[in-house]
Amino acid sequence: MLTHLDCTKCEKRYEPGRVYTFCACGAPLFPRYDLARAALEMRPGHLALREPTMWRYREVLPLAEGEERVSLGEGLTPLLPAPRLGARLGLPRLAVKEEGGNPTGSFKARGLSMAVSMAKALGATDVCLPSAGNAGSALAAYAAAAGLRAHVFLPRDVARLFVMETEAYGAHVETVDGLITDAGRACAAQAKEHGWYECATLKEPYRVEGKKTMGYEIAEQMGWRAPDVVVAPAAVGETFIAAHRGFAEMERLGFIPKRPLMAAAQAAPANAITKAWRDETAIAPLKIGYTVAEGLAAGNPGRKGDWVLRILRETGGVAGQAEDEEILEAQKMLARTEGIWAGPTGSAGIAVLMRLLADKQVDPTSTICVIVSETGLKTEAPPPSREAIAFDEASLRRLVLEKLGAGS
């Protein structure tokens, strides 16, 4: 029951049924629904009987009735209590939304199931995006399932497993010198030239709608209550915006009594949002350093980052950052205490939560849910210099310098 799309900045209105990217003013578009009707048709008690995928929340998703879903069974991942990790951190009510079990091993599956479904419904034949790895393999898998051609632009030093997997689905992979922003420029240029449907985060208005189902699931799995705090990893902020939107919608639908405090988790070498939030300034593009949390290595969140900041300021949310050593420590702790092996990017929320607790930004007695966004199975065995990261600061510094040298 998509009614229209609104610009998130100038409020210009767009009608459904056509391909959109950003608003004419440059800001992302925001799909809107008939929430009054959704509240009648989507009773919390009845939802339990629906299919065990993110598509159970169809009334608040943009695909029209009768249009084909491109689905691999994404969503309805477990919300796991984390008592042993909680005991280590002094948190009696800690839970983890374990997203590594999604198709292609990360929560990117939610957004790309939605985006590829919409692309197909809108008549696209070719889809494309820039990616640090997870979005690319997810796009490639859903495009294969939809019978569409996929074009994925990856930074050259991405883990080989991502390239192998993405090519296995039949996608065309282009590796680009530099960072994800460079891959983004290459992708946008070719999309324009060939008329491809662009699935870049928040440039494509529907990916975020797939991802917001994470918020719905957390509330449903808690008996239609929100946790006090939700920690979401933040590169450019799609996840953060999506989770916030899910909870805000549920509040308006009358499904939950109150929204959680949202915490944005960043890697210290890519902390544009955290820095702007702390300094109470606008987002300034950063020249980022290497981080083991490769999925968080975004230096210029642009207008999407502005949107995250606005949410943080309007709702009293918090932002935090963690160093690589802390992220690797959190990754190890999560595996050893709870039996969950996530990649460094997927573990960053735990590391940032530890920082937020130390800085007294989060009350340790509250109910806290951390989004663990990816499996650890695609993280390659680190080469000797990388293995040293966890133990030896001098080699970490050397590695960062090497990476910076390679990137320039």
Ligand X SMILES: *Cc1c(COP(=O)(O)O)cnc(C)c1O
> Should residue 234 be labelled a site residue for ligand X when binding is judged by CB under 6 A?
yes
Give yes or no for a contact between 271 and 293, defined as CB atoms under 8 angstroms apart.
no
The footprint of ligand X on residues 369-398 (CB under 6 A) is 373-374
The interface region with ligand X, picked from 28-36, 234-242, 352-360, 381-389 by CB under 6 A, is: 234-242
With binding defined as CB under 6 A, does residue 201 bind ligand X?
yes
Instruction: Select from ligand X, Zn ion, none the partner in contact with residue 233, using the beta carbon and a kind-dependent cut-off of 5 to 8 Å.
Output: ligand X
Binding partner of residue 396 among ligand X, Zn ion, none, CB under 5 to 8 Å per kind?
none
Minimum distance from residue 26 beta carbon to Zn ion (Å): 7
Judged on CB neighbours under 10 Å (0-12, 13-18, 19+), 88 is: middle
Cα–Cα distance between 87 and 94 in angstroms, integer?
A: 9
Distance of CA 209 to the CA centre of its chain: 11
For residue 237, state whether it binds ligand X (rule: CB under 6 A): yes
Select from 32-40, 52-60, 233-241, 380-388 the region that touches ligand X (CB under 6 A): 233-241
| Amino acid type, 295 | G
CA dihedral sign of residues 219, 223, 227, 232: negative
For residues 230-267, one letter each, b for 16 or more C-beta atoms within 10 angstroms of the residue's C-beta and e for the rest, the string is: bbbbbbbbbbbbbbbbbbbbbeebebbeebbbbbbbbb
Total residues in contact with ligand X, by rule CB under 6 A: 16
Among 4, 13, 15, 25, binds Zn ion (CB under 5 A): 25
23 is a contact residue toward Zn ion (CB under 5 A): yes
Residue closer to ligand X, measured from CB, 86 or 349: 349
Minimal CA–CA distance to 181: which of 287, 253, 110? 287
Least distance between ligand X and beta carbon 262 (Å): 12
Choice from 56, 58, 97, 108 touching ligand X (CB under 6 A): 108
Strand 29-33 versus strand 94-98 pairing type: unpaired
The position carrying tokens 């420590």 is 329
Specify whether the CB–CB gap between 120 and 146 falls below 8 A: yes
8 Å CB contact between 61 and 83: no
> Do 323 and 268 meet the contact criterion of CB atoms below 8 Å apart?
yes
Site membership for ligand X, residue 347 (CB under 6 A): no
Question: Does 295 contact ligand X by CB under 6 A?
Answer: yes
Contact 158, 294 (CB under 8 A): yes
By the rule CB under 6 A, 98 interacts with ligand X:
no
Site string for ligand X, 121-160 (x = CB under 6 A): -------------x--------------------------
Radius of gyration for the chain, computed over Cα atoms and rounded to the nearest angstrom: 20
Q: Which stretch binds ligand X (CB under 6 A): 48-56, 62-70, 232-240, 387-395?
A: 232-240
Residue 305 binds: one of ligand X, Zn ion, none (C-beta under 5 to 8 A by kind) = none
How many Cβ atoms are within 10 Å of 182's Cβ, its own excluded?
A: 16
Question: Can you read off the two tokens belonging to residue 231?
Answer: 């920690």
Partner whose binding site includes residue 23, from ligand X, Zn ion, none (CB under 5 to 8 Å by kind): Zn ion
Distance CA 156, CA 363 (A): 41
253 or 379: CB nearest ligand X: 379
In angstroms, give the least distance from the CB of 38 to ligand X: 24
Q: How much of the chain is in helix, strand and coil states, percent to nearest 5?
A: 45, 15, 35
Q: Of 233, 260, 269, 317, which one interacts with ligand X (CB under 6 A)?
A: 233
CB-wise, 53 or 134, nearer to ligand X? 134
Residues in the chain: 408
Contacting ligand X (CB under 6 A), which of 106, 166, 291, 347? 106
Closer residue to ligand X, CB minimum distance, 74 or 238: 238
Residues making contact with Zn ion (CB under 5 A): 7, 9-10, 12, 23, 25, 27
Residues making contact with ligand X (CB under 6 A): 106, 108, 134, 201, 233-239, 295, 345-346, 373-374
